[in-house]
Homo-oligomer: A and B are copies of this chain.
Amino acid sequence: MSLKEELGLKRGFNVIEHEAVLNIYFTASKLKKRADEFFRKFNVTDVQFNVMMLLHYQSEDGGGLSQAQLSKMMLVNRANITSLIDRMEKAELVTRNSSDDRRYNIIKMTGKGKKLFGKVEPLYGKLVVEKMSAIKKGEQKQLIAILEKVRSY
């Protein structure tokens, strides 16, 4: 089903450029919603899981990341990280630790966080692979290349 049919749109947006932008928006929106549904079964949100993923894969020797680093990696405003980490601290998924540079906090996963991540991550990986099996490997590469151009233009 085309995007227009799906949304019940009857006319307008008939310029191809608009359609491309709309497609990016709505596809991302749907993927995000499906991912969030998945994560909520484990009592985390998609954004919170994103933090855990970054702490797992992106911190040097598991040494943690600062809020500013998380902010950059997630394309999210610094201010938003504060409350996000507040909630994750409350849920005992991460801790704030002081560093040499006293402007920084170092965010690390707790044991509980690591355990949850270890359980959920492989399942999520399967979900992504399944979802993307809708298109061939070649198309995936094309998609990545095209979006890269759009994004960095």
* Residues of chain A whose beta carbon lies under 8 Å from any beta carbon of chain B: 1-3, 6-13, 15-21, 23-33, 53, 56-58, 69, 72-75, 125, 128-129, 131-135, 137, 139-144, 146-153
Cβ A3 vs Cβ B151 within 8 A: yes
A76 nearest in chain B by CB position: B29
Q: Number of copies of this chain in the oligomer?
A: 2
Contact across chains for B73 and A7 when beta carbons are under 8 A apart? yes
Question: Once bound together, how far apart are the Cα atoms of A3 and B150, in whole Å?
Answer: 12
With beta carbons under 8 angstroms apart, the residue of B16, B57, B125, B148 that contacts A3 is B148
- Smallest CB separation, A72 vs chain B (Å): 6
> Contact at A129–B73, with CB atoms within 8 Å?
no
Q: Top 8 nearest A-B pairs by Cβ distance? A: A12-B57, A28-B28, A134-B153, A17-B132, A27-B151, A23-B147, A27-B147, A20-B140
A125 touches B6 (CB 8 A): no
Of chain B, the residue at the smallest CB distance from A23 is: B147
Decide: B10 and A58 in contact? CB cutoff 8 A: yes
Least Cβ–Cβ distance between A102 and chain B, in angstroms: 23
The answer to whether B24 and A31 have CB atoms under 8 Å apart is yes
**Closest chain B residue, CB of each to CB of A10:** B58
